[in-house]
Amino acid sequence: MSRYWSPFVHSLSPYVPGEQPKTDNLVKLNTNENPFGPSPKALEAIRAAADDKLRLYPEPSSEQLRETIARYYGLTTEQVFIGNGSDEVLAHIFLGLLKHDRPLLFPDISYSFYPVYCNLYGIDFQRVPLDNQFAIRVDDYLQPSSGIIFPNPNAPTGRLLPLDDIERLLRMNDGVVIVVDEAYIDFGGESAARLIPKYPNLLVTQTLSKSRSLAGLRVGFALGQPALIEALDRVKNSFNSYPVDRLAQVGAIAAIEDEAYFEQTRQAVIANRDWLTGALKKLSFEVLPSQANFVFCRHPAHEGRVLAEALRARGVIVRHFDKPRIEQFLRISIGTEAECRQLIDALTEIL
Ligand code: PMP
């Protein structure tokens, strides 16, 4: 800490991202990236766009990319907002839509960035406990709030809230914005995007980091009725008018248009998740039912932290959270078949 810091910066508790090791020799199953590469068509589009035009600013509102996303979801361009990864989109949502004089509600086990944004923007929040199966209980969200946000599937549990429950939540809380963070939706759930024409208080966020394997490109988006999207534009243009660069815009368009590759890699991740779930259960792990590209599991006889350290010593990185109620768990991203096997071999050695 330095005496030059503002007092406000002293008060922040920033998010700590998972390890990004410098070597390629490790089996990296800790940050929910896609084990398969991006669409070859996306890579081709990015290479082709790396030219003299990079001296020019990108189109500030990512118009063409918004059109592509709108077409994909059967929405209009005015219903789409683009940002530099969904983390940035979420940051704008917290400031532009969720900062009011009542507490914001989110599950007690959820994406660790939510309390960080609250801290940054001075938003009061209340954590709502999950039930004893680690599921969201819709009826617990019937209280005065400034809004509700949750990942679906939830992170790090992987549990999915069905669309019927989301509709009930939207109807029960029609005076506040409900944000469904669908970073992992393509691995097993149906997007709430189709409810947007019906509910003016619904905002859905998604990312190209997971199912489209472009975490390094940093593109995320929000879908909602134009009145909500306008608030995000106001915040964006008060912060950074050009958040999504030229390469990211063309790469994202090509990735979304390559539906065959998306489907093939998505199905491969789902198949590997099924295999890994079965193999972990054979080693006596309790595995929560996951609709995401990771599994959340615990062993009855071994500490989560100890297992994570033993795996790290064998070249496999998984995520462990030092938090009440989940300290026994490991969150394991779904890798290639070979990576999943390496993980199981390492665990077999350890147990
Ligand atoms: N939401 C959730 C629930 C996540 O786990 C993540 C990834 N850490 C994000 C949003 C952000 O993803 P990105 O910024 O790469 O789009």
- Do 265 and 34 touch, CB atoms closer than 8 A? yes
Question: Is 0.95 exceeded by the ipTM?
Answer: yes
* Torsion sign, CA atoms 120, 206, 196, 142: negative
- Do 74 and 80 touch, CB atoms closer than 8 A? no
> Which of 209, 213, 321 best tests ligand 1's pocket when mutated (most atoms within 8 Å of CB)?
209
Q: 3 C-alpha vs ligand 1 centroid, how far in Å?
A: 33
Spell 316-334 as b/e; 16+ CB within 10 A means b: bbbbbbeeeebebbbbbbb
- Regarding the beta carbon of 182 and ligand 1, being less than 6 Å apart is answered no
The predicted structure's pLDDT at residue 23: 82
Instruction: Chunk the chain into consecutive blocks of 10 residues (it has 351) and report each block's average pLDDT, rounded to whole numbers.
Output: 90 92 92 98 98 98 98 98 98 98 97 97 98 97 96 98 98 97 98 98 98 98 98 98 98 98 98 98 98 98 97 97 95 98 98 96
DSSP character at residue 19: P
The predicted structure's pLDDT at residue 234: 98
- Regarding the beta carbon of 155 and ligand 1, being less than 6 Å apart is answered yes
Nearest atom in ligand 1 to the alpha carbon of residue 86 is 16
The predicted structure's pLDDT at residue 24: 84
**Ligand 1, atom 7, residue with closest C-alpha:** 183
Nearest atom in ligand 1 to the alpha carbon of residue 31 is 8
Long-range contacts, 188-193 (Cβ 8 Å, 24+): 188/153, 188/160, 188/270, 188/290, 188/291, 188/292, 189/152, 189/153, 189/160, 189/291, 190/163, 191/73, 192/152, 192/163, 192/166, 193/73, 193/75, 193/223
Residue 71 neighbours by CB distance under 10 Å: 14
- Regarding the beta carbon of 151 and ligand 1, being less than 6 Å apart is answered yes
Give the residue from 89, 2, 20, 23 showing the smallest Cα distance to 319.
20
- Regarding the beta carbon of 311 and ligand 1, being less than 6 Å apart is answered no
- Regarding the beta carbon of 158 and ligand 1, being less than 6 Å apart is answered no
Question: In sequence order, what DSSP letters do the residues of 204-215 get, joined into one string?
Answer: EEEESSSTT--T
For the chain, give the number of residues: 351
Instruction: Name the packing angle between helices 86-96 and 226-236 (round to 10°).
Output: 100
Q: 87 C-alpha vs ligand 1 centroid, how far in Å?
A: 6
pLDDT in tens, 237-290: 999 999 999 999 999 999 999 999 999 999 999 999 999 999 999 999 999 999
∠239-249-111 over CA atoms, to 5°? 60
The predicted structure's pLDDT at residue 22: 85
- Regarding the beta carbon of 181 and ligand 1, being less than 6 Å apart is answered yes
Give the residue from 71, 157, 142, 178 showing the smallest Cα distance to 329.
157
Q: 52 C-alpha vs ligand 1 centroid, how far in Å?
A: 32
Nearest atom in ligand 1 to the alpha carbon of residue 90 is 10
Q: What are the φ/ψ torsions at residue 334 (nearest 5 degrees)?
A: -80, 125
Nearest atom in ligand 1 to the alpha carbon of residue 155 is 3
